[in-house]
Amino acid sequence: MSDIFQEVEEDVRRERFEKLWKQYGDYAIAAVAAVAVGVAGFQLWTKYETQKRFEASRTFMQAQAAAESGNTQAATATFGTLAKSGPSGYATIATFSQANNQLATENRAQALEIYKSLAGKDSSQIGSAARIRAAWIMVETTPRSELETWLAPLNVQSNAWHYMAQEILAYADYRAGALDQAQREYQVLADDKDSPSGLRARSNAMATFLKAGGDKNFGSVPKPPAPAIPGLDAAGALQGAAQAPAPQGAAPAAQGQPKP
C-alpha cells in the first residue's frame, strides 16, 4: 500500500511542477540568461579596467622619466593628459605630479592653481599634501589670516598634517616681522616629541636663529686695511725710484738740445 501512496504523491508533485513550469518557466530561463550575461559582462569590464590601469601606469612612468631627464614640457603635457583621461587613482596622482613639475620649473601660479583645485576636491592624503604645497606658495604673499583659513582643515591636533600647518604659520609670522611670536611657535614645535624629527630639527634651528636676533641688522663690519707690500709706498709706487742710481755704463741724461 505504501508504494501506491508514494506513486500518487510523485504524480501530484510532477503535475504541480509542470503547472509551475508552464506559468514561470520563461521567467526562470530569462533569469538564468541574465545571470550568465551579467557574469560575462563583469569579466569583460574587469579585463577592460585592468587594461586601462596598465596603460595609465605605463604613461605615468613615461611622464616621470621625461621629468627626470629634464624634458619638463613633455612631462607636463603627459601628466595633464593622464589627469584628464586616466583612471581615478592615476588621474589624481598625475594631477599632483603635474603641479609638482610646474613648481619645479618656477611656474608658481600654475602650480598653485592645480594644488588648490586638487585640495578642494580630494579628501585623501594626496589632497592634504596638495593643501600644504599650496600654503607654502601662498605664504610668500598671503596674509596670515587667509593662511589660517586655508590650513584650518589640517590644523587640528588629531590631523597628521597639523605640525606642518603650524610650521607654515610660524614662517608666516617670521616673514611678517613678528619675530618674537615666530620664535615661540618654532620653539613649541622643536620641543614637541610627537612632531616629525626633520620638522623638529628645522624648528629648533629657526628658534635658535631668532633668539639670537634673527636677521636683525647690527651694522656693517669695517673693511680691513690692505696689507703692506714691501718695496711699495701707499700709492703703489716703487719706493726710492727717484733716488735710484743709474746703471753702470748708462749715458747721462741730456741737458737741452745737442749742438750741431
**pTM for the complete prediction?**
0.61
Position 209 in a domain: yes
The verdict on 105 and 50 lying in the same domain is: yes
The verdict on 62 and 34 lying in the same domain is: yes
Q: How far is CA 224 from the centre of its chain?
A: 46
Range of the domain at 144: 139-214
The identity of residue 60, as a single letter, is F
Each residue of 167-210: pLDDT tens digit?
999 999 999 999 999 999 999 999 999 999 999 999 999 999 99
The verdict on 117 and 199 lying in the same domain is: no
User: How many structural domains compose the chain?
Assistant: 2
Position 223 in a domain: no
Residues of the chain with pLDDT under 70: 1-54, 56-57, 60, 63, 67-68, 215-260
The verdict on 104 and 58 lying in the same domain is: yes
What pLDDT, on a 0 to 100 scale, did the predictor assign at position 215?
66
The Cα 14–Cα 31 span in angstroms is 22
What pLDDT, on a 0 to 100 scale, did the predictor assign at position 69?
73
Position 148 in a domain: yes
What pLDDT, on a 0 to 100 scale, did the predictor assign at position 93?
85
The verdict on 15 and 120 lying in the same domain is: yes
The verdict on 117 and 180 lying in the same domain is: no
**Residues 127, 119: contact at Cβ < 8 Å?**
yes
